[in-house]
Chain A
Amino acid sequence: MAAPRDKFGRPIVVVTGMGVMTSLGAGKTDNWAKLTAGQSGIRTVTRFPIDGLKSTMAGTIDFVKVEPFSSTGLTERLADLAAEEALEQSAIGSKGDFPGPLFLAVAPVETEWPQRVEVGRAVGKQDFDYNEILRICGGGRFAQLHHRFMFGSVASYLAEKFGTKGSPISLSTACASGATAIQLGVEAIRRGEADAALCVATDGSVNPEAMVRFSLLSALSTQNDPPQAASKPFSKNRDGFVMAEGAGALVLESYDAAIARGAPILGVVAGCGELTDSFHRTRSSPDGKPIIGCVLKTLDDAGMVPEDIDHINAHGTATPENDKMEYLAISTVFGDRARTIPVSSNKSMVGHTISAAGAVEAIFSLLTLEHQRIPPTINYEIPDPAIPFDVVPNKARDARVTAVMSNSFGFGGQNASLILTREPA
């Protein structure tokens, strides 16, 4: 019997395990209940002082403790927890022996201020320069800082713990990173290199400098009070995104491999696509062509047409620019259906989980397919007349959903989209 393949003759890629962490909670069950109840995970930051910041709220994950604290340490722990949940559901391989590669979307790593201060304090005098730091930082006293702040450190920890095979890939495509991690897994399975891939995306980087950096680019909402209402995707009074932490993990397998071991099939990654925008470092090309091209490439990759898609899990960051451009792209590709197809933004509730967003939202899309219920876009009180989407305002909605498109667009012209379906086409 011929192996089941997609319409292009490639192995079908299915999802057999999912794990998710957001500011709403740990795990799929808790997240889904709160997401469909329209709850927000955004709160005023308590992890560090907020004095002097223009934006003071975020979707921090404060219920996971990391000692000594660093954003990279939290990033690693969130990935660990999400991957554990995904692997438990998938029941693939055995403990510490995952039969495939790791693709990890992770925030870029660098030395953080608490550690910089710790090393600076060790100089033991005032008005020092970097040479004096260099004189005291060797000898093993701060060896763990080298390890912690290597870009590959999170992936190597996960690879060792879960026993993934080969060289783990850490990647960043900014806000599209999570989608890219899934895409790399899909491609490896389609090439026949692997029967399974562990795709993880994680971001625990709510710290003062990260918030300041986005703030200086005027990307963050400053509607601090109440924090739960700050993230307003597609609303006329939207004013930026809300930084957030999160992680998503997916076990991808070839359909054959999953069936052969009787694994749960949670959904299908039917298509993925990407197209780079070379217009500007932070802004989309005004004609929207790269985003439109990204959406079209993804439909092509899935062998589908716009009519086949019945829900869009939007990038929907709530920046004035993104939401406008996303409408332009969707309305160009979907025509009149852009006004009727349900388009919701999870970021209204969990904020923008940056490097994790593509995977977190892919998981929410798969849960939408499983439960046949679309999470709302909350904080939608003042519609933007220029964006006449059906945003599933404020209340979740039962609906027949067979195929979801999940979009991710990021700084540096990074555009990536996924199409997720319940059953193989």
Chain B
Amino acid sequence: MTGPKQAWITGIGIVSSLGEGLDAHWDALNAGRINVDEKRFAPYIVHPLAPVSFDAQIPKKGDQRQMEGWQRIGTYAAGLALDSAGVKGNKEILGRMDMIVAAGGGERDVAVDMAILNAYLKGNPAPGFLNERLMNDLRPTLFLAQLSNLLAGNIAIVHGVSGTSRTFMGEEASSIDAARIALARIASGQSDIALVGAAYNGERPDLLILFECGDFNLTGQFAPVWARDKRSGFCLGSAGVFLVIESETHAKARGARPYARLTNVVADLAQRKQAGAVTRSLEALWSKLGKLGDNDPIITGATGIEPVTSEEKAFLSQHAGSAVRATGTLFGHTIETQFPLGLALASLAISRGALFPPNDPTGLELEMSAPPTQIVVVGAGHWQGEGMALVEAVS
């Protein structure tokens, strides 16, 4: 019996409110730049997508028209990841590549919804009113822009990734599980190479409404996630992040260089009705990650939602020597995309030999000058699901 195969992260594609690509993100992170829009959806705050020329990764306008925002963002980021791994257009590899996409979906045509809703509420609608309006007003192709698995479908069509295709759903936890399953398949030899990621369009009124129903939106003035304990909430962010993960053997055979090694991904579903459940869940996951250093830095997708963020702080206080970075402050909350974003930034930091500086007036985030060799990526969903990954330098 041979042991589990090592998995390398050999491709990173990232597009967000801070720009696109690794250099732009590295510069923005080091400059402490944050891009928020407090006006467009006031009193709600969003981290809007930076200007992107979708043509660069989605050359056919017809393809772009078939997608809604989240699919364009994701298909674009997937293209960047394939470029970064040097497998773009490599039909032999793409034809057997695993793809696991974490997706929401349901991108609505808000103008149509509001017109139908207002007309419906105006009087006594006839029994067939809703049917007739939907038949007349919905664009036939909108459905395909709403189906969760059609981000994967578009990546297959535009970039030719066509081995396996699986779409996981379920908010933050879905992308933790996507990384976990991709790694398990590679480690066990069920697969050699995988494209894993997610995309989120945070600039959607329908989502603001859904999250407002649960009182999850931050309003008024922007604040870093660690400074929201008295004013709980997240600011939705737009981002797409994809990673190419492959076995060390496969990467070496094609001469690909790693950004980092993905050593482990673990996940759980705490029963959060019990106080402290998230703290205990994160501590249990930490103990399953593998051999850790004393003060390994932590990149977390903490949301700023209470009480989960305070429960996560209680966990972090057990690792008080670790330099912590919260992606929620920098990028907003990108739901399914938050965990791949953490993995991407961890890989980037390891490959650049430095952790990016803190961006936190509360002092929770410590400076770190030494080059990181291990980074723990943490995700605790805004209402459920916890996970962690260990990303390491390839020695």
Binding site for B on A (CB under 8 A): 49-54, 106, 108-111, 113, 116-117, 119-121, 126-131, 133-134, 137-140, 142-143, 145-147, 149-152, 155-156, 159-160, 166-174, 180, 184, 187-188, 190-191, 193, 208-209, 212-217, 274-282, 290, 410-414
Shortest C-beta distance, A46 to chain B (Å), equals 12
Complex Cα gap A139–B160 (Å): 46
A120 to B268, CA, bound (A): 36
Residues of A within 8 A of B211 (CB): 146
A278-B161 contact in complex given A151-B104, A167-B385, C-beta closer than 8 Å: yes
Known: A51-B126, A168-B269. A156 touches B215 (CB 8 A): no
A51 to chain B: which residues have CB within 8 Å? 126-128, 131-132
The one of A109, A137, A276, A414 that contacts B209, using a Cβ cutoff of 8 Å: A137
Given the interface pairs A212-B138, A281-B153, A282-B144, the reply to whether A166 lies near B267 with Cβ below 8 Å is yes
Given contacts A130-B209, A167-B173, A282-B144, contact A277 B152 (CB under 8 A): no
- Does chain A have a CB within 8 A of B387? yes
Q: Is the Cβ of B118 less than 8 Å from the Cβ of A127? A: yes
A191 touches B106 (CB 8 A): no
- Is the beta-carbon distance between B138 and A213 smaller than 8 angstroms? yes
User: A412 contacts B149, CB within 8 Å?
Assistant: yes
Contact flags B119-152 to A (C-beta < 8 A → 1, else 0): 0111000111011101100111011101111101
Smallest CB-CB separation from A281: which chain B residue? B144
Q: List 11 A-B contacts (CB under 8 A).
A: A110-B105, A110-B146, A121-B121, A146-B383, A152-B173, A152-B384, A172-B147, A172-B169, A174-B147, A213-B142, A276-B156
B366: min CB distance to chain A, Å: 30
Indicate whether A137 sits within 8 Å of B165 (C-beta atoms), given known contacts A151-B171, A172-B149.
no
Q: Report yes or no: A277 in contact with B147, Cβ–Cβ below 8 A.
A: no
Contact A138 B213 (CB under 8 A): yes
Nearest chain A CB to B71 CB, angstrom units: 10
Interface residues of B (CB under 8 A from A): 44, 66, 99, 103-106, 108, 110, 113-114, 117-118, 120-122, 126-128, 130-132, 134-135, 138-140, 142-144, 146-150, 152-154, 156-157, 160-171, 173-174, 176-177, 180-181, 184-185, 188, 190, 205-206, 208-217, 267-269, 271, 381, 383-387
* With known contacts A150-B383, A151-B174, A276-B162, A216–B128 Cβ distance under 8 A: no
B residues in contact with A156, CB < 8 Å: 170, 269, 384
> Per a CB cutoff under 8 Å, which of B118, B122, B156 touches A413?
B156
Given contacts A137-B209, A137-B212, A208-B134, contact A171 B127 (CB under 8 A): no
CB-contact partner of B165 in A126, A130, A413, under 8 A: A413
Question: Is the CB–CB distance between B267 and A167 below 8 Å?
Answer: yes
The interface residues of chain A lying within 8 Å CB-to-CB of B384 are 152, 156
Name B142's closest neighbour in chain A (CB-CB): A213
Q: Are A215 and B185 in contact, CB atoms less than 8 angstroms apart? A: no
| B161 contacts across to A, CB distance below 8 A | 276, 278
Give A173 to B166 CA distance when docked, in angstroms.
6
Contact A147/B169 with A52-B128, A110-B146 known, Cβ cut-off 8 Å: no
Find the B residue at minimum CB distance from A144.
Answer: B213
Q: How far is the CA of A110 from the CA of B209 in the complex (A)?
A: 12
CA distance A110 to B147 in the complex (A): 10
Instruction: Tell me the complex Cα distance, A212–B135, Å.
Output: 6
Expressed in whole angstroms, the minimum distance between the Cβ of B70 and any Cβ of chain A is 12
Once A169-B168, A281-B153, A412-B153 are accepted as A-B contacts, the answer to whether A108 and B122 lie under 8 Å apart by CB is no
Chain A residues within an 8 Å CB radius of B216: 146
Q: Which residues of B contact A174 (CB under 8 A)?
A: 147, 149
The smallest beta-carbon distance between A294 and chain B, in angstroms, is 10
A50 adjacent to B131 (CB under 8 Å): yes
Partner among B66, B134, B149, B214 whose Cβ is within 8 Å of the Cβ of A173: B149
Q: Are A143 and B157 in contact (CB under 8 A)?
A: no
A116 touches B113 (CB 8 A): yes
**Please, which residues of chain B bring their CB within 8 A of the CB of A215?**
135
Complex contact A138–B146 (CB within 8 A): no
Q: How far is the CA of A217 from the CA of B8 in the complex (A)?
A: 41
Distance from A42 Cβ to chain B, minimum over Cβ atoms (Å): 19
Q: Given the known A-B contacts A152-B385, A180-B166, A191-B188, are A170 and B174 also in contact in the complex, defined by CB atoms under 8 Å?
A: yes
Residues of B contacting A217 with CB < 8 Å?
A: 140, 143-144
Q: Taking CB as reference atom, which chain B residue is nearest A151?
A: B169
Chain A residues with CB under 8 A of B142: 213
Contact among A113, A167, A279 for B177, CB-based, below 8 A: A167
5 extra A-B contacts, CB within 8 A, seeds A143-B215, A169-B174, A213-B138: A120-B121, A134-B208, A137-B212, A169-B168, A278-B157
**Complex formed: what's the CA distance from A216 to B145 in Å?**
14
Instruction: Determine if B169 and A106 form an interchain contact, defined as CB atoms under 8 angstroms apart.
Output: yes
For the complex, what is the distance from the CA of A421 to the CA of B363, rounded to whole Å?
61
Are B214 and A143 in contact, with the CB atoms below 8 A?
A: yes
Most buried by A among B143, B169, B174: B169
**Chain A residue at minimal CB-CB distance from B154:** A281
| Contact B163–A169 (Cβ < 8 Å) | no
**Chain A residues, Cβ within 8 Å of B214:** 143, 146-147
A281→B150 contact, CB < 8 A: yes
B167: A residues at CB distance < 8 A: 171-173
Cβ–Cβ < 8 Å partners of A127 in chain B: 118
Chain A residues near B127: list those with CB within 8 A. 49, 51
Please state if B168 and A170 are interface contacts (CB–CB under 8 Å): yes
A276: chain B residues at CB < 8 Å are 99, 152, 156, 161-165
Decide if A277 touches B169 in the complex (CB within 8 Å): no
Q: What's the Cα separation between A224 and B201 when bound, in Å?
A: 39
Known: A111-B206, A116-B117, A413-B157. A213 touches B162 (CB 8 A): no
Greatest chain B CB density within 10 A among A146, A278, A279 is at A278
